[in-house]
């Protein structure tokens, strides 16, 4: 049987070359349709969602019980482990191949299992057990450090020695398309003598990737590089909305709190680690050399193109304000997971790890408005007369990402959120 990543594979379903969902991808998500059935597990293929529960009901899988695909989140499937993930993806690939008649020539089964994407509602793909946000782009950390501490003290002394992170709120991780209410909090501009309470005035986005942990680790035990890699089920695009002015006042001495707790948006499709395998590469050279437990033997970064579009309420279409690449990350997702467990911290099925803002070396590769507008001093022009330093009510922010193969893309779709005014 051909490997599901084979670039020569073609589906019997027509898939455009620029589609994010060719047969080489097969990302998992949770969907509901007009059939009135409860949310369940599906796979994206072209402009369709393949209903895995219906396929399982028809006895098309040998190793997965239908109830796993009837669940309203991916957690039960992820808990089955890497061997089941891989065999299930191979079986789905076989069913969708243009030279395999099993589904292709069964009109009734196609009718029941292939749902037009336009008729599907996409839900949060997994129950988020815990959420940790990292700070792993050297370019981003340097830009922020220069802004607030100057060139000579841009990176904190610990930054080059370990992935820096903080524990966020799983309760406010939401799926793409969920509106984001402008947060309120304590504000204290440098010119004020005392804080006040009110709506955030410097609302920002952060372009990130999210790691979806599919296997648990044992409390009190460390992880090797290989163990951490095997625990990763897949990735989502992640927007970690950020209230810069609330954070400025609250972050000393323990870091972000309410400035990040109000909302984190993720894309509805989880692209598996296996689907991204052809796009792996080594990340930037790490100097000084990390401590032994963080050293890597494998290429753990990805050549994954990312772009951000911002659409103000008075605009007809988003204006692109950033194009960057996940390959620039100094600390890899595997290193983040290894470090997270290094104290003995137990990881759970459904844990979400944010990569941290992804910025590249060029100005147009910055992954936040804080950097793009250089803390508000250089507003970005979106359209005739429309400028932004930070997000305003009614603004819509959309992120997209994909890996470019030979004649196909392995993509994530998009994550979108529109800002609502504070109540």
CB under 8 A, 24+ apart: contacts of 142-149: 143/359, 143/366, 143/371, 144/370, 144/371, 147/370, 147/374, 147/375
Q: How many angstroms separate the CA atoms of 301 and 293, rounded? A: 18
Q: Per the omega criterion (within 30 degrees of 0), is the bond before 170 cis?
A: no
CA trace torsion 12, 30, 177, 128 (10° rounding): -140
- 140 annotated active-site: yes
The full 3-state SS of 225-276, as one line of letters, equals HHHHHHHEEEEEEEEECEEHHHHHHHCCCCCCCHHHHCCEEECCCEEECCCC
The angle at the Cα of 131, spanning 127 to 133, to the nearest 5 degrees, equals 145
Q: What is the DSSP letter of 220?
A: T
CB-based contact 410:24 (threshold 8 Å)? yes
CB under 8 A, 24+ apart: contacts of 59-62: 60/91, 60/95, 60/102, 60/103, 61/88, 61/91, 62/91
Q: How many angstroms separate the CA atoms of 194 and 196, rounded? A: 7
Q: Token digits for 235?
A: 């990735």
Q: Is 149 helix (H, G, I), strand (E, B) or coil?
A: helix
> Cα 329 vs. chain centroid, distance in angstroms?
14
Task: Give me the DSSP letters along 37-84.
Answer: PPPEEEEEETTEEEEHHHHHHTT--SSS-HHHHHSSSSHHHHTT-HHH
Q: Alpha carbon of 219 to those of 40, 165, 181, 223: distances in Å?
A: 31, 19, 36, 11
Catalytic residue among 3, 100, 140, 340: 140
Give the residues across from 290 on adjacent strands: none
Q: Token digits for 189?
A: 């501009």
Q: Which residues are identified as catalytic?
A: 140
């Amino acid at each position: 049987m051909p490997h599901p990543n084979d670039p020569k594979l073609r589906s019997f379903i027509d898939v455009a070359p620029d589609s994010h969902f060719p047969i080489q991808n097969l990302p998992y998500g949770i969907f509901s349709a007009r059939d009135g059935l409860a949310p369940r597990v599906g796979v994206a293929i072209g402009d369709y969602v393949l209903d895995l529960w219906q396929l399982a009901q028809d006895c098309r899988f040998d190793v997965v019980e239908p109830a796993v695909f009837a669940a309203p989140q991916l957690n039960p499937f992820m808990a089955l482990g890497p061997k089941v993930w891989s065999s299930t993806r191979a079986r789905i690939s076989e069913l969708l191949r243009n030279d395999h008649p099993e589904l292709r020539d069964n009109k009734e089964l196609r009718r029941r299992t292939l749902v037009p994407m336009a008729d599907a509602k996409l839900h949060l793909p997994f129950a988020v057990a815990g959420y940790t946000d990292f700070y792993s782009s050297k370019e981003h950390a340097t830009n922020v450090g220069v802004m607030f501490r100057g060139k000579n003290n841009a990176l904190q002394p610990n930054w080059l020695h370990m992935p820096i992170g903080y524990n966020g709120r799983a309760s406010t991780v939401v799926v793409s398309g969920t509106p984001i209410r402008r947060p309120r909090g304590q504000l204290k501009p440098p010119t004020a003598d005392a804080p006040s309470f009110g709506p955030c005035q410097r609302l920002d986005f952060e372009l990130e990737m999210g790691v979806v942990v599919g296997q648990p680790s044992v409390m009190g035990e460390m992880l090797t590089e290989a163990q951490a890699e095997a625990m990763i089920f897949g990735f989502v695009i992640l927007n970690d909305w950020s209230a810069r002015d609330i954070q400025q006042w609250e972050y000393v001495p323990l870091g972000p709190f309410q400035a990040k707790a109000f909302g984190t948006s993720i894309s509805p499709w989880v692209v598996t680690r296996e689907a991204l395998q052809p796009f792996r590469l080594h990340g930037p050279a790490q100097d000084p050399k990390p401590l032994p437990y963080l050293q890597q033997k494998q290429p753990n970064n990805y050549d994954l193109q990312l772009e951000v579009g911002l659409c103000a309420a008075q605009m007809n279409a988003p204006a692109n304000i950033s194009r960057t690449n996940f390959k620039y990350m100094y600390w890899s997702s595997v290193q983040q997971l290894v470090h997270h467990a290094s104290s003995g911290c137990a990881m759970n099925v459904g844990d979400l790890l944010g990569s941290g803002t992804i910025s590249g070396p060029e100005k147009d590769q910055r992954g936040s408005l804080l950097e793009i507008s250089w803390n508000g001093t250089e507003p970005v022009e979106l359209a005739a007369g429309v400028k932004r330093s930070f997000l305003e009510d009614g603004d819509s922010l959309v992120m997209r990402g994909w890996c470019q193969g030979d004649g196909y893309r392995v993509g994530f779709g998009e994550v979108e959120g529109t800002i609502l005014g504070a109540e």
